[in-house]
Amino acid sequence: MKDYAFKSQEDQRNPQKNNTPIISLSHQRKREIDEALLQCIIEAGLPY
């Protein structure tokens, strides 16, 4: 796959290079974010 992948794709395959912390959200917070996104898309006509 190395011949066909971009560097960012190769970096994603190597977990040692990925230092991004994982933040877990509560179910309620996920729902609030989903509703806010839907309001932006549907009511305001904004892209996702």
The single-letter code of the amino acid at 33 is: I
Read off the pLDDT of residues 10-48 as tens digits, 9 standing for 90 and up.
777 766 655 667 778 889 999 999 998 888 888 877 665
Half-sphere exposure at residue 48, Cβ-oriented, CA atoms within 13 angstroms? 3
pTM: 0.44
Question: What's the pLDDT score for residue 28?
Answer: 92
3-state secondary structure 1-48: CCCCCCHHHHHHHCCCCCCCCCCCCCHHHHHHHHHHHHHHHHHCCCCC
